[in-house]
Structure 1
Amino acid sequence: MTLTVQPHRESVGLKAGRLLIDGQWGPAREGATWTHHHPATGEPIGEFASGSAADVDDAVAAARRAFDSGAWPSTRAGQRIALLHRYADLLRAHADELRALQALDNSVPLSFGGIYATSVGAAADVFDHHAGWVDKLGGQTLPPYQGGDHLAMTFREPIGVVAAVLPWNAPFLLFAQKVAPALAAGCTVVLKPSEYCTFSVLRMVELLVEAGLPDGVLNVVTGPGDPVGEALITHPDVDKVSFTGSWAVGKRIVEASAGTLKRVSLELGGKSPALVFGDAPNVGLAAATVVGAVTMGLSGQACVANTRALVHREVYDEFLGAAQGMAAAITYGDPFDAGVVSAPLINERQLERVLGYIERGKSEGRLVTGGERLGGELAAGNFVAPTIFADVDNSATIAQEEIFGPVLAVVPFSDEEEAVALANDTQYGLGAGLFTADVQRAFRVSRRLRAGTVGINGFQIEPHLPFGGFKQSGLGREGGQSAIEAYTELKSVFLPLTEEMM
């Protein structure tokens, strides 16, 4: 039997995607469209407008007008708070619909769409969290440093027009992490979803319009990175770029920002380690957690996934046995099937890339399980079996480069010093995990790891907790106070209170 998702397309009521510019939905200027093919079946799912540089010009101009002469940047805090809360409630009310659209976009199964970090509920919480910051973005009144009677004050003001560029793998959370703080701060936005995950994002935008967002405050241009993304990140009227994606594109954004000194927030790649010590509370659970992060849901296509397992030699064999068991339990297929827990790779290019790394890994480690493309009824999709390599040297390609697929490299270590050295021996620094029953070791090691987020015997993303990376994993943070402040400029104001100071 050939796998198909077409019946779900009809039941979800998928419609053609359009651009949103200055409050109006419509086609691209040149009438171009993009046909999205489902990664699990190869079937054409639907079409959406494929924009051009001219469409980006229109969208940025609308956002510029809405910022420079529109009401949103100066909207009273109470009104802005109410709108963001209203939108969060709409997201929760439409959670099932949005998860179904995501399954048609990137094939993340419904069974995984309820996991908090990838859920609609998490996105709603992010909007609620940032709504709480709207009336707290205050500055300071400072005492005079020199003589005289005067006031020295600071104010936080919205940064301006924001270009928000989304990846395809976690549309709900990443839409919220960029759009929520931008709107809360009073910015206007031009949004570019990934061409591989557009329909769910467009529905999120529709709900935001329904919540009452004024025209021009949020504009959407869909289409591929070239020309849409390139035109957006280089546009002279864009004040800030917020991007989540690959290191290579992040580097291009930094280069493009130089001409106008755009503010930039980047959440880039990772090669996150999981350190499993000999005194881990439950080695089997540690193995299941690590392998699950690399294989379940997104099938390893998550930058923060622990794709390196650094395991103490005392529990090395136990870890590998449990890891193989977890890998064998992963199921693939129709994302609407409750028994399916993982997705295919997003497209054929990524499939070929991952298979190439696996072939390279066969000469760099011992292949324990997996390593092949899945066939049978899954043959038309981009499915790769959960793959585990043991006895990998940390300098190996599969231990150093981000594969973005269901591939785990297991590296042995002998003591804490070696574990920390191996963990930090990477160009990345996004996330890390460690498993130990020793509280002192947990704090000691977590402080020494060069990573933006460290999980101790577990890992979670929280709306109020900053998330981002060290080294080449990015610039800036998303989540919490630091995120909304990144969408503001700090202004100092001096006011003399006597004529002597004037």
Structure 2
Amino acid sequence: MTLSMLAHRDDVGLKDGLLLVGGQWRASSDGATWTHRHPATHEEIGSFAVAGVEDVDAAVKAARKAFDEGTWPRATVSERVRVLHKFSGLLREHSTELTKLLALDNGVPISFGNIYAASVTVAADVFDHHAGWIDKAGGETFPGYQGGDKLAMTFREPIGVVAAILPWNAPFLLFAQKLGPALAAGCTVVLKPSEFATFAALRMVELLSEAGLPEGVVNVVTGPGNPTGEALITHPLVDKISFTGSRAVGKRIVEASAGTLKRVSMELGGKSPALVFPGAEVALAAATAMGTVTMGLSGQACIAQTRALVHRDCYDEFLAVAQGVAGYMTYGDPFDPAVLASPLINEKQLDRVLGYIQKGQEEGARLVMGGTRMQGEYSNGNFVAPALFADVENSMTIAQEEIFGPVLAVVPFSDEDEAIRLANDTEYGLGAGVFTKDAKQAFRVAKRLRAGTIGINGFQVEPHLPFGGFQQSGLGREGGRSAYEAYTELKTVMMPLSEAMM
């Protein structure tokens, strides 16, 4: 039986995507469009406008006008809270529709799209969380340092026009992690969804309008990195860039931001280790690590625990359980509740992942299972059987570079110091997992790991917690108070109170 997404497309009623500029939905100025092909079948699902330099300029200027002259940056606390809470309610109301759109966008199965961290619910919770900061993230007052009767205080003001650039793999969460604090702070936004996950994001923007967000506060430019993304990150009227994606693009954004010293927040991926110590619940550790590189996104997630550092005493047990978990995965129609894992997002990524698997074997790692393109009914899509590598040395390519696919590299270690050394031997530093029944060891190891988020015997994304990485995993944090403050500028105001000081 041949897979097809066309009936699902028609059932959802997918419509072609337009740009949103100053409150008006319209085609691109030159009529250019992008045709979206579904990663499970390569069928043409729909198309959307590709914003050129002229379109991006119009969108940024609309956001600039809304910031400089509009009501949103000057809205009362109650007005902003009301809009953001109404939007979170609309997200929950339309969660089924949005989850189906995501399955048409990137092939993530409905079963996974309903899991909290990947779901519409987490996006709604993020907006509710940041709505709660609007009346709490104030400034401070200070006493005079050198004497005299003075008043000194700080204020937080919105940073200005924000370019929010989304990845394709987690658009619900990242839409919320960027627009939630930006809108709560009073900023205006130009949103660029990934060209591989556009339709769900466009529908979320429509719901923002329904929630009462004024025209021009959020503008949308769709299209690929060139020309759309490049025109956005280099625009002189953009005050801040918030980006989630590849390290190569992140470095380009830093270069582009230098001309006008744009503020930059970015999350650029990871090579997260899972450290499994003797006495740990090995089955839980193996299921967690192998699950993050198979279930749902098939390893196409920045926080996936793609390196398993396993003590030699429990190494064989870990491999056996991991192999079982990989064999449990099911593939096919993402609208089928029994399907647990997705295809790779496009043919370029398919070739890239297969190349890494070949590289792993060439460098001497032992391929325990998988690592081939799936055939038969899956042959028209970008499906790869999960690859489990054993006897991996941490210096190997598959243990150092972010693969973004269903590949788990298992590295043996002998003691705690070696495990920590191996874990920190990476250019990344996004996340890590520690599996042990020894509470003292858990916190001792967590303190020594160079990573932004560490889970002990489990891991969960939470709306109120900071998320981001050390080293080349990015700059800044999303989530929590630190995210809200990242969309503000801190202003100091001083005034003498006595006539003698004037």
TM-score by structure 2 length? Answer: 0.99
CA-to-aligned-CA distance 1:316-373 (integer Å, 9 cap, x gap): 0000000100000011100000110000000000000000000111123000000100
SS in 2 for 1:134: coil
Letter in 2 for 1:153: M
**Equivalent residue for 1:285?**
284
- For 2:104 and 2:253, the matched residues in 1 are separated by 29
**Equivalent residue for 1:401?**
401
- For 1:418 and 1:279, the matched residues in 2 are separated by 17
Structural mapping, 1:264-279, within 5 Å: 264-279=264-279
- For 1:152 and 1:146, the matched residues in 2 are separated by 12
1:468 aligns with 2:471: no
Poorly superposed stretches of 4+, deviation over 4 Å: none
CA-to-aligned-CA distance 1:258-296 (integer Å, 9 cap, x gap): 10000000101100000011110x211211111010111
SS in 2 for 1:295: coil
Q: CA deviation at 1:501?
A: 1.6
- For 2:123 and 2:276, the matched residues in 1 are separated by 31
- For 2:387 and 2:325, the matched residues in 1 are separated by 11
**Equivalent residue for 2:100?**
100
**Equivalent residue for 2:296?**
297
- For 1:500 and 1:199, the matched residues in 2 are separated by 64
- For 1:362 and 1:141, the matched residues in 2 are separated by 61
Letter in 2 for 1:327: A
- For 1:378 and 1:482, the matched residues in 2 are separated by 44
Letter in 1 for 2:282: V
Q: CA deviation at 1:405?
A: 0.3
**Equivalent residue for 2:139?**
139
Structural mapping, 1:73-88, within 5 Å: 73-88=73-88
Structural mapping, 1:48-67, within 5 Å: 48-67=48-67
CA-to-aligned-CA distance 1:122-164 (integer Å, 9 cap, x gap): 0000000000000112101111112221100100000000000
CA-to-aligned-CA distance 1:90-116 (integer Å, 9 cap, x gap): 000000000000000000000001111
**Equivalent residue for 1:170?**
170
Runs of 5+ in structure 2 lacking a partner? none
**Equivalent residue for 2:323?**
324
- For 1:233 and 1:414, the matched residues in 2 are separated by 47
- For 2:5 and 2:234, the matched residues in 1 are separated by 38
Structural mapping, 1:102-501, within 5 Å: 102-280=102-280, 282-364=281-363, 365-501=365-501
**Equivalent residue for 2:36?**
36
Letter in 2 for 1:348: E
SS in 2 for 1:34: strand
- For 1:111 and 1:147, the matched residues in 2 are separated by 64
- For 1:104 and 1:238, the matched residues in 2 are separated by 31
**Equivalent residue for 1:90?**
90
Letter in 1 for 2:454: V
- For 2:284 and 2:432, the matched residues in 1 are separated by 17
Letter in 1 for 2:50: S
CA-to-aligned-CA distance 1:14-52 (integer Å, 9 cap, x gap): 001000010011111111111000000000000111110
- For 1:13 and 1:278, the matched residues in 2 are separated by 53
SS in 1 for 2:500: helix
Letter in 2 for 1:80: R
- For 1:235 and 1:148, the matched residues in 2 are separated by 46
Q: CA deviation at 1:500?
A: 1.5
- For 2:300 and 2:138, the matched residues in 1 are separated by 39
Runs of 5+ in structure 1 lacking a partner? none
SS in 1 for 2:293: helix
Letter in 2 for 1:178: K
- For 2:31 and 2:257, the matched residues in 1 are separated by 29
Letter in 1 for 2:62: A
Letter in 1 for 2:5: V
- For 2:198 and 2:139, the matched residues in 1 are separated by 38
- For 1:399 and 1:27, the matched residues in 2 are separated by 44
How many residues are matched? 501
Letter in 1 for 2:396: A
Identity level (%): 73
- For 1:370 and 1:199, the matched residues in 2 are separated by 32
Letter in 1 for 2:420: V
**Equivalent residue for 1:17?**
17
- For 1:456 and 1:17, the matched residues in 2 are separated by 42
- For 2:181 and 2:279, the matched residues in 1 are separated by 41
Letter in 2 for 1:276: V
TM-score by structure 1 length? Answer: 0.99
SS in 1 for 2:152: strand
Letter in 2 for 1:257: S
- For 2:360 and 2:147, the matched residues in 1 are separated by 69
- For 1:147 and 1:398, the matched residues in 2 are separated by 61
- For 1:446 and 1:96, the matched residues in 2 are separated by 38
- For 2:94 and 2:443, the matched residues in 1 are separated by 40
Give the alignment's Cα RMSD to 1 decimal.
0.6
Letter in 2 for 1:493: V
SS in 1 for 2:113: coil
- For 2:137 and 2:57, the matched residues in 1 are separated by 31
